[in-house]
A and B are shown apart, each in its own frame.
Chain A
Amino acid sequence: MEKDDLMLEQLANREYEFGFVTAIDMDISEIGLNEDTVRFISAKKNEPQWLLDWRMKGFKAFQKQEMPQWQNFKMPEIDFQSISYYAAPKQQAKYASLDEVDPELLRTFEKLGIPMSEQKHLAGVAVDVVFDSVSVTTTYKKHLNELGIIFCSISDAVKEHPELIQKYLGSVVPHTDNVFASLNTAVFSDGSFVYIPKGVRCPMELSTYFRINAENTGQFERTLIIADEDSYVSYLEGCTAPMRDENQLHAAVVELIAMKGAEIKYSTVQNWYPGDKEGKGGIFNFVTKRGACRGERAKISWTQVETGSAITWKYPSILLQGDYSSGEFYSVAVTNNMQIADTGTKIYHLGAHTKSRIISKGISAGKGQNSYRGLVQMGPKAAYARNFTQCDSLLIGDLCGAHTFPYIESKNNTATIEHEATTSKIGEDQVFYLNQRGIDAEQAIALIVNGYAKDVLNQLPMEFAVEAQKLLSLTLEGSVG
């Protein structure tokens, strides 16, 4: 038997354990957005003047910008004045015990194997002990310290490593980039900071788990990862949010910087609340993620599994600046019911001999609409640069849609760009074949979908791959029969 399968099996039976997890809670404050809000946030966090000035620049840019209109869906009205922008550390308990929580939500948690304390947290139940692994955390922290690796919240990094923050924050995604990035610059709450020193291979996966707890809050986290020359890091980001009837805004910014010979692997499993079957509620996920391969042979890869959110608007991109640098983008995006995903990547080949590979797998079910949008640009100096793009769509049922928008621009005639695209439907024949072997329709779809997404799921660290597989099945539950 395949080694993979045995390993997967064992992992599926194992407790959920990440090498290192920081939980970042976001809670509620006054509603509304103006210069005072920005000042208030900065003051609450005791920030230095230069950071407040930068936030203000972001706010001014935000005021001048229009909402994007090029996407393949109607941009919802977002009332920026009805959102709360400050994240207080404490949270209000919504329920006294788990018995009061919607059983459907609990069933989901159970299927995902989320531990009880975390289940309570997600559902908004009062929890006495938030995380019981403090000692474990310290052990890891010590180990990382010895290697010179910095892994902390952005707020702490501002205090403890201001020189790094000042040098790199906003250096990949400028404060003027787009309306959501500008907004994030003005009001970002917190996020993760990673620095890997020269020549160091980070010995464990670093991970952050984001969640949105309070009502009427937006979430604006900011992540900055710097891999110095010849270093390596694999970073995971998990997202989830409790069910709410109203829409919530999530506008994060992620910046990655890979120096000469360095490699950054960034994996996301996004499971924000998608809204109910009729499309009520759910997260509006407008995220700007960008990585820069600054030096020769630098490498960045984005892997994303997007199962949640009412709307996903997200194009992790890569600037291939150093010669021989390379970028990869692996994506699975699922839309079921009324979900919308407009996602893809942008890869800018600036240096010579740069290489990129894009594998995108869209899955649409219900009335879900899934668009892939990919830009591959070969600059004038991108001699012998190469890109390969494979973009597949899988349809389940007749009411959903899949759309592909590849944009290709080449200013160097030695560069090569290859693009392959397929659209397929889950066949009745395939489902019947599996039924005939004792597998019910729901599980049949899950098997077929996981098979289809295999090339991308294989890129995820093992623990995440298992969770992602379960999420795919959960998201598609009820999409047949």
Chain B
Amino acid sequence: MLSIKNLHANIEGKEILKGINLEVKAGEVHAIMGPNGSGKSSLASVLAGRENYEITEGEVWLDGKNLLDMKPEVRAREGVFLAFQYPVEIPGVSNINFLRTALSEIRIHRNLPPLSAKEFLKMTKEKQALVEFEAKLANRSLNQGFSGGEKKRNEVFQLAMLEPKLSILDETDSGLDIDALRIVSNGINKLRSADNAFVLITHYQRLLEYIVPDFVHVLYNGQIVRSGTKELALELEEKGYDWLKEEFHGNESINKI
């Protein structure tokens, strides 16, 4: 489904992504871990099409289509969803109205007939129940005055509503309380199917106990320095990142010789 080949990207002239390679197939869950500042959110932003990143090298394909050629809204309509690490507030815009607009754009793009108000309402109710999102929040202005955890849960509610192919969740687990983490994870597990895929960016092995990944990758210094199965996450939990950093820098110095 998603194929990233040797992706390099700069921000303000500084190279942040330094040759990312990643293959995500339909039905899979990938976890990306890595120390602060290693480039995880940058990777998510580049995939979503944020303009302040300059792509200097590499390719990204989504089901055979060149993702890097598409505007951000087209990527979204094609099925890329990013649950933001820091969701923004948009005062006065009702959450539901916003979702209605988004969904209608996406449906037009996918050649689906528009939903009637009644159908939309029904769908909203179902998805709210699926991710246990409070109706009260759904009716408020988009993220305005939401608590940190509420914002994260709103991201997951939107994910449920928009039914993307590829969901990238950027630290959606951080800021959630213990119960919320379980609820959100259950919701995501219910949304998993053979046709969609998830990329979970996280710092905590705990999330991966709820949503069991097929692969775990470690991003460090703009590169994926190690990939493995869920056991890798456990190993990281125990040992931290230092051993990987050392290994990486060791390799680097070897390469230089």
Contacts and interface: CB of A to CB of B under 8 A. Distances in A.
Instruction: Decide if A and B are genuine partners.
Output: yes
Contact of B88 (A1, A427, A443, A451): A427
Contact of B106 (A430, A438, A452): A438
B102 A430 contact: no
A432 interface: yes
B105 interface: yes
Interface stretch (B93-101, B179-187, B234-242): B93-101
B68 to A, nearest CB: 15
A417 to B, nearest CB: 25
Contact of B90 (A436, A438, A451, A455): A451
B98 A437 contact: yes
A454 interface: yes
A348 B31 CA distance: 64
Given A1-B124, A427-B88, A432-B50, A437 B93 contact: no
B92 A453 contact: yes
Contact of B73 (A1, A5, A439, A451): A439
A9 interface: yes
Given A10-B117, A437-B102, A438-B77, A451 B84 contact: no
Contact of A437 (B51, B117, B120, B158): B158
B16 interface: no
Interface in A1-58: 1-2, 4-6, 9-10
Contacts of A462: none
A390 B196 CA distance: 47
Interface string B145-163: 0000000000000100010
B5 to A, nearest CB: 23
A428 B139 CA distance: 24
Contacts of A437: 76, 98-99, 102, 158, 162
Interface string B91-126: 111101111111101100100000001001100100
A9 B118 CA distance: 12
Contacts of A4: 94
B88 A5 contact: no
A451 B117 contact: no
A438 B92 contact: no
Nearest to A392: B91
A443 B158 CA distance: 18
A18 B105 CA distance: 30
A452 B91 contact: yes
A440 B76 CA distance: 10
Interface string A443-465: 10001101111110000000000
Nearest to B144: A451
Nearest to B90: A430
A457 to B, nearest CB: 9
B235 to A, nearest CB: 33
Nearest to B99: A437
A448 B143 CA distance: 13
B102 A448 contact: no
B34 interface: no
B48 interface: yes
A436 B162 CA distance: 11
A436 B72 contact: yes
A447 B72 contact: no
Interface residues of A, number: 30
Contact of B48 (A436, A447, A448): A436
In this complex, which of A9, A437, A447, A451 has the most chain B Cβ atoms within 10 angstroms of its Cβ?
Answer: A437
Given A1-B139, A6-B117, A430-B88, A435 B49 contact: yes
A439 B102 contact: yes
Contacts of A453: 92
B246 to A, nearest CB: 37
Contacts of B142: 451
B124 A448 contact: no
Given A437-B76, A439-B73, A450 B121 contact: no
A429 B88 contact: yes
B38 interface: no
A405 interface: no
Contacts of A6: 117, 121
B106 A1 contact: no
Contacts of B96: 1-2, 5
A434 interface: yes
Contacts of B94: 2, 4-5, 451
A433 B120 contact: no
A10 to B, nearest CB: 7
A5 B90 CA distance: 17
A4 to B, nearest CB: 8
A454 B76 contact: no
B90 A440 contact: no
A451 B92 contact: yes
A436 B90 CA distance: 14
Nearest to B109: A438
B87 interface: yes
B73 A435 contact: yes
Given A432-B50, A435-B49, A440 B93 contact: no
Contacts of B124: 1
Nearest to A10: B117
Interface in B62-81: 71-73, 75-77, 81
A452 B94 CA distance: 11
A476 to B, nearest CB: 15
A305 to B, nearest CB: 15
B99 to A, nearest CB: 8
B84 to A, nearest CB: 7
Contacts of B117: 1, 6, 9-10
A438 B102 contact: yes
Nearest to A2: B139
A26 to B, nearest CB: 37
5 contacts: A1-B139, A2-B139, A432-B72, A438-B76, A438-B109
9 nearest A-B pairs in the assembled complex, by CB-CB distance: A451-B92, A451-B93, A435-B72, A437-B102, A438-B76, A454-B92, A438-B105, A438-B106, A438-B77
Interface of A: 1-2, 4-6, 9-10, 427-430, 432-441, 443, 447-448, 450-455
